[in-house]
Each structure stands twice: as C-alpha cells, then as structure tokens.
Amino acid sequence: MAETGASPLPPTSPAHSPLARAEHFVWLTARVLEQRLFAYHFLEGSADPVETALDAYRNEDGGYGHALEPDLRGPVSQPLHTGHALRVLDAIGRCGGQRVERVCRYLTSVTTPDGALPAIHPSQRGYPAAPFVPIVDDPPSELLATGPVVGLLHRNEVWHAWLFRATDFCWQAVESLERSHPYEVQAAVAFLDSAPDRPRAEAVADRLGRLVREHRLAALDPARLDAYPVAPGYASGEHHFPHDYAKTPTSLARGWFTDDEMARSLDFLAEEQQEDGGWPIHWRQWAPGPAVEARPLVTLDALRTLRAYGHSLG
C-alpha cells in the first residue's frame, strides 16, 4: 500500500530558508520579548506588543532588571539592562518621551562621580550573575556601559542634563584608548556612530580602526582563526569579526575593513546558523537558563546584520 502524506520539502523551499528556520527557532525557544521583536522586524508586526513585553522588565526607579540581559539575574535595575531596553526602544522607534525621561532619571541615580555609568551597580550582589561579571562596592565608570547608552540617546535626539557629562566621559575614554578589547571597541563604535560632532567622531574612529587591526581584535580570515588571539578573560574561541563591529554598512567601523574582508565575515556569519535555526553563543556559558535566553538575542542580531548588508534570508 502506498504511503500517504506530504512529500518532503526541497532544500530550496521557503520553509527551509534561513529566515524560516530562524522563525521556528524563535517560536520554540525565545522569550515573549524576542518573539515580539522577531515579529516586528520580519513579520510586519506592530511596535506596541514589543513595548508591552519590554514593560515587564521595567522597575519603579525607571531602570530595567529581571534578567533582561540574561547574564545578570534578579529583579534589580542595572545599567546593562537599561542599555538593552534603550536598544529595543530604538529598534521600534519609541526611544523618546516620558519613558526615556524615566530612564534618564535612573541613569542619574547610578552615575559615578565622573558622570558616567558603572557596568554593574552593587545592588546586583546577592542575585545570580555570570562569574565573569565583577560586583564591587565602588564600581568605576565604564565605556562598556556608558558608550552605547549615550550613543542611543544622541541618535534619538534626546536631550537631558545627564548627557552632558556622560558625553564628555565618552569622548575622553575613546580618545585615550591605547589598548582595548572587542566589547569595549563595540561600545566605542556605538557612541561614535551617533555622536553629534561628526568630524571628531570620524577622526577618532579612524584611529580606533587602526588599533583594532594592529592588535588583531578582528578575525579577518575565518578560515585561520588560530592567527587571531582571544582577548584575556574571554572564552576559548570567542573571536570577533568585522560584522561584530560594523553591524550596518553606515557604521564608521565599516571603513576599517576591505570589501573582501567584510564579505568573508558576512558569509561566515550566514554559515553559522545551526541545524535548529538559531545562531550560537561564543562567550562563556555558565548556566543553562542564560544560554537558552541569549541564543534568540544572538539570532535576531545575526538576522538584522545580514539583512542590513543585503544578504538573502528567504
């Protein structure tokens, strides 16, 4: 007797496209926020459900907590969570108004004496956090936390008293970098891409790009990863590539790389999609929950980067 049922779909079917496979992964594993973001970016979804999902992470102090950044657990507001929330609001065109006024009040409340943000506020103590995240009583200012926040606020033409000293801190920090590591460079790029003084930003970005190349902070040939050192404290194999710095063709970091280097980087990114439809995490994994929650974030980031450069997603 002949078998019944649908024939297997050919590999070129839309159901086997990178986007379809990623969509299956998102519905299978992602938090509601990332599901709503996927729908917004790729399924013509509305911004309202994204903002509603994000509100679940907001605290009365105007900051965000509740493991919005998966490596920091617990309910307390943190600068890294709040920067993540601003990225979400920016992505859906809602980075303004009273919601951002509340965010700026929170940022003011946790600002260091030199007007910037610590990566981790001491209130995190007592809640689970990644072992590579130091929690100290008097944390220093960090470009890692401050740069992306200041960049996003300038990008959205937000003006608040907190921004003045924080912007000065970012300029001083990026202009004095002699050695760095990939995540700090990414934070610098996030600031420079939206800093209001464009000639100054372009000059600093040019110098930073030379530093990245001289210190081999970008793996320019994915086929020869052993030629590129991993930064101290990073996980084994935690390399960064041109697409990690230049997430869009309009980024100042795009000028750091040749067309061939960028093409190899993007091809490598596309090929990293795994059998389950998601993209892998390269940083150190320390608990099952954070790893499960982080992969949809990485997957959305990969999809948006590939689309920004015109890669076909199906």
Give the tens place of pLDDT for each residue, 123-151.
999 999 999 999 999 999 999 999 999 99
Rounded distance between C-alpha atoms, residue 153 and residue 166, angstroms? 11
Rounded distance between C-alpha atoms, residue 241 and residue 307, angstroms? 17
- Find the farthest-apart pair of alpha carbons in the chain and give their distance in angstroms, rounded: 79
Paired tokens of 30: 């992602």
Evaluate if pTM is beyond 0.75: yes
The whole-number mean pLDDT for each consecutive block of 10 residues of the chain, a chain of 314 residues, reads 45 76 98 98 98 98 98 98 98 96 97 96 97 94 98 96 97 97 98 98 98 98 95 95 98 98 98 98 96 98 98 93
The predicted structure's pLDDT at residue 4: 45
- Please name every residue paired with 64 in a beta bridge, in sequence order, or none if there are none: 58
The pLDDT tens digits for 250-286 are: 999 999 999 999 999 999 999 999 999 999 999 999 9
The predicted structure's pLDDT at residue 304: 98
Backbone angles phi, psi at 14, to 5 degrees: -55, -30
